[in-house]
Amino acid sequence: MREELFSIGSFTVYGYGFMIAIGVLAAYFTAEYRAKKYKLQDEQIFYLVIWCVLGGFVSAKLLFWMTEWKSIWNDPGFLLRTMGDGFVVYGGIIGGILTGWIFCRRKKLEFLKYFDLVMPSIALAQGFGRIGCLLAGCCYGRETSGAWSITFQDSSFAPNHVALIPTQIYSSLLDFVHFGILLVIARHKKANGQVAACYLIFYSIGRFILEFFRGDLERGQVGMMSTSQFIGIFTCIAGIGLWMFCYRKQRYHHSSGKAES
């Protein structure tokens, strides 16, 4: 685990940023490959990914600042000091989906098709992103006396020299498994939107459970729940609602003798 991977002169490559970059590239190449496979407009994937990445980063940063409103209220300089770090994944997901929808509207693309196409790649990117969290020491777990633990020695985020639950490793593994499951669902889906619905449901449930093992206090609280647990309830409901909508739409097309493209 190391925050700084290497330096070239005054330019430093950080582990977190490096893994985020790998995740974005992996998301792009897998989405483009699958777009060609499913005969979608693969030439639009690069621009769709750019839109989603930019929208996701902005939204992830804004949601982080919302969770830290007390720190900002007491010290407005907190905004400038946290420009390069501090992001909330759910903000990135919501912002990415919104900008993706706007992009599809502008390009007259069928949103649910591309929603299904991109979401497995998002899970893949998150898996690499959590490796970045491990390198940096952020998103760390609670203290533990168990044998399966991780101890940071020189982290600017996690407490050092303390055995912690390796939540970053758990999250990364779950994200990679999630990616594989969504690919299987994509091969057998009955209607557009079902893959995206499964992403929202599975990620929300997995993240809700993992939050109980997190030890970082910067996540914010809503009553007894963390901010991510609170948001996860609504994203899970949204996923269930989307699944039901797609299921009913598919049954309508089937009963009316229409085939959904």
| Total of domains in the chain | 1
Q: Is residue 202, in this structure, part of any structural domain at all?
A: no
CA distance 58 to 37: 31
Q: Is residue 98, in this structure, part of any structural domain at all?
A: yes
Q: Is residue 249, in this structure, part of any structural domain at all?
A: no
DSSP string for 58-108 = HHHHHHHHHHTHHHHHH-TTHHHHTSSS---HHHHHHHHHHHHHHHHHHHT
Q: Is residue 243, in this structure, part of any structural domain at all?
A: no
**Cross-strand pairs, 12:** 7
Give every residue of the chain whose pLDDT is below 50, as ranges: 261
What integer pLDDT is reported at residue 261 of this predicted model? 46
Question: Which structural domain, as residue segments, surrounds residue 85?
Answer: 4-189
State the amino acid at position 135 in one-letter form: L
Q: Is residue 232, in this structure, part of any structural domain at all?
A: no
Q: Is residue 251, in this structure, part of any structural domain at all?
A: no
pTM of the model: 0.88
What integer pLDDT is reported at residue 243 of this predicted model? 94
pLDDT digits (tens, 9 = 90+) for 194-238: 999 999 999 999 999 999 999 987 667 888 899 899 999 999 999
Q: Is residue 172, in this structure, part of any structural domain at all?
A: yes
Decide: 172 and 194 in contact? Cβ < 8 Å: no
Q: Is residue 60, in this structure, part of any structural domain at all?
A: yes
What integer pLDDT is reported at residue 255 of this predicted model? 64
C-alpha 258: how far from chain center: 35
pLDDT digits (tens, 9 = 90+) for 116-133: 999 999 999 999 999 999
What integer pLDDT is reported at residue 77 of this predicted model? 81
CA distance 28 to 22: 10
Burial class (CB in 10 A: 0-12, 13-18, 19+), 112: buried
What integer pLDDT is reported at residue 52 of this predicted model? 94
